[in-house]
Amino acid sequence: MSRQFTLRSGAMVAEVTERAAALRGFRHGDRDLVTGWPADGPIPFYSGTLLAPWPNRVGGAVYAFEGETHRLPVNEKDRGHALHGLVADVTWQAVEWLQAEDEHAFLRLAHTVTPSPGYPFTLALQAVYTLTPAGLTTTLTAENTGDRPAPYGCGPHPWLLAGDGPVGPWELELPAGQVLLTDELLLPRNLAEVAGTPYDFRAPRPVGATALDHAFTALVPDRVGMARVRLRGPAGGVEVSWDPAVLPWVQVCTGDGLGHAGIAVEPMTCPPDAFNSGTDLVVLYPGDKHEASWTISVV
């Protein structure tokens, strides 16, 4: 079994595992802020994992880059796609751990993506979890340590909790002006304004009967430059915040239809199938680094 690490700061406790460098649990007092899973159990619906070197889907598990066609392994069998990158179920290595219960704690994990079928590139990844009274911040850094340019994207996959039971009564605040509509295979069809659609949560309101599994963009930052997606429910409020200049997209998915607790809020560098569309795709040249951070906190 992969090693497990506990980070503490005041009333907050985070559980992180070397498996997928995943956030396995996060609590404030007796309240769960994210959907967790047993240390020796399967990871349900990518809960708490890191998504790299792409988030979401590569359509048909095929893409072209620098004039060469690449075929990835299919891991979304029912749709035929390559889903959520290459590191969501591999073992990372914890390389640094500091526990200071009264103030802050952090954990650094590392993993190298080596050339493999469909992704013949080399990336050195580091994930740093930092827990303070302000919340849990994750910073994911990728460095191209190979000898050729590499396509890249990333994001996290936390399922946020604002109570028990169905998410319909929970209030969602999502400061996004556009939603990416998809086809029956959940691949991009067209980008639409949220105004006048069921996907407009710019003013906080209950989720209701709206089923969400959509990417949003045109994120409006607050006065300190952060995008904030907030949930409020019977147990209280929880939010994910990040810099929308670095992560200009967010996938939001309600778990009820999957039989899973919570609402996934996944800040992303790029939209679904960016390896084919090129939309907001990061290209890392040899020696280049990319860094993205996000914070989960109580509101």
Longest dimension (CA), the chain: 53
Are residues 92 and 20 in contact, defined by beta-carbon separation less than 8 angstroms? Answer: yes
Q: Name residue, tokens 């340019």.
A: 149
**How many domains is the chain built from?**
1
Burial of 277 (0-12, 13-18, 19+ CB in 10 A): middle
Chain centroid to CA 131: how far?
18
Structure tokens that stand for 194 in this block: 């949220």
> How far apart, in Å, are the Cα atoms of 114 and each of 44, 66, 276?
26, 19, 21
Q: What are the pLDDT tens digits along the chain (299 aa)?
A: 789 999 999 899 999 999 999 999 999 999 999 999 999 889 999 999 999 999 999 999 999 999 999 999 999 999 999 999 999 989 999 998 877 656 779 999 999 999 999 999 999 999 999 999 999 999 999 999 999 999 999 999 999 999 998 999 999 999 999 999 999 999 999 999 999 999 999 999 999 999 999 999 999 999 999 999 999 999 999 999 999 999 999 999 999 889 999 999 999 999 999 999 999 999 999 999 999 999 999 99
- CA 177/CA 179 separation, integer angstroms: 7
For the four alpha carbons of 159, 178, 294 and 123, in that order, the dihedral sign comes to positive
CATH number at residue 118: 2.70.98.10
Burial of 151 (0-12, 13-18, 19+ CB in 10 A): buried
Are residues 75 and 83 in contact, defined by beta-carbon separation less than 8 angstroms? Answer: yes
Domain span holding position 96: 4-298
pTM above threshold 0.85: yes
- CA 142/CA 111 separation, integer angstroms: 10
Residues 6+ apart with CB under 8 A from 223: none
Phi, psi (deg, nearest 5) at residue 91: -90, 120
